[in-house]
Chain A
Amino acid sequence: KSKRRRIKRRDDDRQKRKRGNERRKAGTRAGDGEEDLWGVAEKRERSKRKRQKNKQETSRREKNEEEEVQVTSGKAAKARKNIKNEKTRRMEKEEVEENIEKGKKKYGSAKIGEVKEDGGKQLEKAQEVKKKKHKKVETSSELETSEEDDDEEEDTEKDEVRPECLSPEELEKLKEAVDERKKLIQGLRGKPWSMKKKLVTLRESQEFVEKYEGALGKGKGRKLYAYKVMMTKKWMKFQRDFENFKTACIPWEMKIKEIESHFGSSVASYFIFLRWMYGINMILFCLTFGLVMVPEALMGRPYGSIPRKTVPRAEEASAMDFAVLWDFGGYAQYSVLFYGFYNNQRTIGWLKFRMPLSYFLVGVGTVAYSYMVVIRTMARNANESGVGDDNSFNFSWKMFTSWDYLIGNAETADNKFASITTSFKEAILEEQESHKDDNIHLTRFLRVLANFLVLCCLAGSGYLIYFVVRRSQKFALDGLENHTWWERNEVNMVMSLLGMFCPMLFDVISTLENYHPRVALQWQLGRIFALFLGNLYTFIIALMDEINLKRKEENTVKFNITMWEASLYNGTVSENSTAPPITIQPADVPRGPCWETMVGQEFVRLIISDTMTTYITLLIGDFLRAVLVRFLNYCWCWDLEAGFPSYSEFDVSGNVLGLIFNQGMICVFDQMGSFYAPCLPALNVIRLHVSMYLQCWAVMCCNVPQERVFKASGSNNFYMAMLLVILFLSTLPAIYTIVSIPPSFDCGPFSGKNRMFDVIHETLESDFPAWFSKVFSYASNPGLVLPFILLMVLAIYYLQSTSKSYREANVELKKKLQMQNEENKKKNKQAALKAQMDLEARQTAQAAEQQRNNNASLQDQEGHQMPATRDPGSRTNNHGNHRPSGYLPGFTQQSEPRLSRVPSLQRN
């Protein structure tokens, strides 16, 4: 503590020196002015106690100081009581300086050490006094506490001053004072004071302004002024409230902030990503819901009107069972949720809503929208990042930027502290190793080994999925009813389990590689990405097989249907030719397998099972574990919380990838999915909504902050890039199915057409004027399309090359700036060196000169007292006097403030 105090004093001293004479003058002027202003009030209302104290102070000072100083101090004391602005403080400092000088003079050429000792004694005394008076001693310097003392009394005094009974010129002065305060508040940020002092000054000034601002002006003007002031205040408050309101409107903002404060920004970035995803899915959901599902439900033909909208007779008995509904069969299958329900009527309802066209366009639109959003976000993120270079000032960066100021939790702060320390250690080690680089082969070997192991894992899981899919096809051929629930859901189960456990294994393997956690996270993400993608593609390939199977089945069914119709027709003809045609229940009509609905069902099931696994893992792996650890810890032989099982950490990479993977599936379905199951975005929105709350809760309740909390600065774009890739990869099979496979003949909005995109042709032909379709056919002519594509490629190339040149220019500029900085630094250094040399030369010269004077002054020490002067020049000279020739400047600075403190302490 004492050290801190000393440093503070030194700072004060330096301040004093820096601002020289003029401040001093200003100080006295202001002091006088204020004194006049407050003279009136003082006379009226000064309390007795106050006066007493004043007397005490002055008397105490009299003992120590000479008469000349007394006068100033008296002034200062008065002023201090009334005004607390910094100028008074300066005045005090001024006194303090005088005291130093005096002290110096008194002791003459006696050694500084003695002076120090004496000062120390006085300091102790002062502290005793202070303890009696005041409780807050800890950090505030003595000067400030003394002032605070005064402030308290002052406040009581102030309350009694009524602005109404002041004369005009007093008011004028008051106004000036208020203005001054305002100016002070504005310029406070730039003042070279300690934070504490700034805060105190700010608070005081604000109080002052608040109190007297409204009182200014007179009569009508005063009222208007007061009104204006009030309104501005109200307006400011409203603005602040509005800002708060805006923040409150951002969904989950507070939750995410809280998590960020506990777990650092990397975990928070996941939740921000989740929210972003939620927003996008909301829009997708609105598109599909508003343009496809609702119109069909409201205006399309009702359930049971045509065969594709009714449950077939064979399934009717079990169509409402929960098990069937849970598998999205039965009534769920024959509803707006799936592709097969939609009719191929060109327009529906009185609005003439073009359903098939809308269906197609929504599918294309969702994908286009996803792409657009992702690319736009990526571009924006790229602008933000990518400026700093990481390698040049490694340690400085670590030193000054590694603290995460968003952390608001003691444990996380501990972790962060530890992680910064370890990162420093590691960086130092790395630096050493980069010079040695003997271990590089081992690291390389380990990294290759790790990648090899991961590849093995991937291959193994791929094979397992392939095996399972093959088996499930066999089951499907046998008929699903003969098998257990486990066997029927094997594919989904295995996929979810692998998706859950393999990342854990990767995580363990990646410890071999010894990367920085940020890099490790990216590797981890990449690997899980590969895993998920592999799984997804195996799944899709298996689906393709199934689609082909269904199409073969379809052909046979088609043939059967024609036979059936023929027999029906023949039957009616043979029975009675005049009878009305027999009405057949739509449930009895035989129908094709409708592979689109099957695909949709599969994907929906996958998403559901995936979500369930996530939640169940969350509950078992996190919550149950946390509960066990927490409560078993009371009766266990080792510390479960800190040691072996511990609480789980939040797994950023796995969660992020789960999200991305699901989004990819949505988009496969937005072609395959919003195509084949329009309910998918809705399901996803629900899923995201629930998982937002559930994961927020789980994170806060059963996870511990990661051991190495790190900033996830650049990784957001990494997520985006991955999202883009998976979007692209998952649209591929969708586009393939749309382009190459003809839609089923008896279900869905495109039934009866050769290809799904024929819808556009049809619309162009029938809904637009002839010239438009002509123009369109010209435009789609390859002779026009190819040059256009060529032009686009050229434009892209041009833009890319310009951006590259800009980047180069940027780098050049940065280099230039750096050079300039270095040059400046060098110059400054040289100047400083030169000044120091000069100073030293002067000092030695002076010391030599003063040596003689000192000898003389030693003899007549008692009687000799120099007059106290206000000239700073002479003061520095005096300093020079008492400095032994080899004395370091830093030391004198340290000892001086200690002296300077003494008189101000004694006043207390």
Chain B
Amino acid sequence: MVSPAIALAFLPLLLTLIIRYRYYFVLFYRAVLIRIWKDCVTGLSREERAYQHVLTHATPGDPDSILEAFDVWCSKVEFISNIGPKKGKILDRLLMENSPLTVLELGAHCGYSTVRMARSLPVGAKLYSIEMDQRNAAIAEKVIRLAGFDDDMVELIVKPSDEVIPQLRSDYNLERLDFVFMDHWKKCYLPDLQLLEGSGLLGKGSIILADNVLFPGAPKFLRYLRKCGLYEWRIHRATLEYSKGIRDGMAELVYQGIK
């Protein structure tokens, strides 16, 4: 039998772990526990609940107020891994600086980032947004239309990204993508990037922005970037959306082509 004194000696360790990883515990609580509980209680999916909140709290046709409603819901009520306001600013800045005309988004989720991007695009630009999940796509569609962006500006494609990317050239008459935003499954970052390279849609100077490369993280993607030499790339370090202590980053890649 281990004596209580020895057990007490483990108290500092326990405290240390709790304090050091408190953000992760909080995140676990908010993203998993609350979600499961609410799912059982309300019978709606998380995205639907978010949409309800937005519908009741935002002004239709005003992207800013929709984004704000999302931010409030995600930081106060539940957790959805949108890009968030802080990293969103980096995204906005990149879009403003480069004013791309053809933009591809992988992983619309519930439309937050789509609205965010469409808001800062120049006139005449077109945004293709790919979402795999049917229900999420339905909500994203509603959110996008609520923000006042029509079919000419934002096109939502409901298919897995690895099916869509090879067909982009033939089906959607795309010549070149100026800007690609990746925020879908972290495991798909690398294969999709390679698909994009293979499809020839990337030209010199095309920008690819990948969210969440540090947490949850896409190690293979980063390893590939280090090795391949096709890109000029950097990581914008930030924290995870709606959470202060978890470090995360966005990788900004500028396609250089084969020299």
Chain A residues close to B by CB (< 8 Å): 418, 457, 461, 464, 467-468, 471, 484, 486-487, 490, 493-494, 497-498, 500-502, 504-505, 507-509, 633, 637-639, 641-644
Contact = CB atoms under 8 A, between A and B. Distances in A.
Contact of A501 (B3, B12, B21, B217): B12
Contacts of A643: 214-217, 246
Given A504-B16, A639-B214, A639-B219, A497 B9 contact: yes
Contacts of B5: 464, 467-468, 471, 490, 494
Contact of B2 (A486, A498, A642): A486
A498 B7 CA distance: 11
Given A486-B2, A505-B12, 12 more contacts: A457-B12, A468-B5, A498-B9, A500-B13, A502-B12, A505-B19, A507-B16, A639-B186, A639-B215, A639-B216, A641-B217, A642-B214
A509 B186 CA distance: 34
Contacts of B214: 639, 642-643
Contacts of B19: 505, 508-509
Nearest to B21: A644
Given A639-B216, A641-B219, A644-B21, A498 B12 contact: yes
Interface string B209-234: 00000111111000000000000000
A638 B217 contact: yes
A413 to B, nearest CB: 12
15 contacts: A461-B12, A464-B8, A494-B8, A498-B12, A501-B11, A501-B12, A505-B19, A508-B19, A639-B218, A642-B214, A642-B215, A642-B219, A643-B217, A643-B246, A644-B21
Contacts of B9: 464, 493-494, 497-498, 501
B29 interface: no
B41 interface: no
Interface string B190-220: 0000000000000000000000001111110
Given A490-B3, A494-B6, A633 B15 contact: no
B10 A501 contact: yes
B248 to A, nearest CB: 9
Contacts of B13: 500-501, 504-505
A616 to B, nearest CB: 14
Interface in B92-111: none
B126 to A, nearest CB: 33
Interface string B160-185: 00000000000000000000000000
Contact of B217 (A502, A505, A507, A639): A639
Contacts of B186: 638-639
B32 to A, nearest CB: 11
Contact of A490 (B6, B10, B24): B6
A638 B216 contact: yes
Contacts of B2: 486
A500 B12 CA distance: 9
Given A493-B6, A494-B9, A501 B219 contact: no
Contacts of A500: 13
B216 A637 contact: yes
Contact of B24 (A464, A642, A644): A644
A638 B3 contact: no
B86 interface: no
Contact of A487 (B3, B10, B16): B3
B40 interface: no
A706 to B, nearest CB: 15
Contacts of B38: none
Contacts of B10: 497, 501
Q: Which 8 A-B pairs have the closest CB atoms?
A: A639-B217, A638-B216, A497-B9, A501-B12, A501-B13, A504-B16, A505-B12, A643-B215
A637 B216 CA distance: 7
A494 B15 CA distance: 17
A418 B237 CA distance: 10
Interface in B234-249: 237, 246
B20 interface: yes
B258 interface: no
Contacts of B11: 501
B221 to A, nearest CB: 10
B123 interface: no
Given A504-B16, A639-B218, A642-B214, A486 B8 contact: no
B21 A505 contact: no
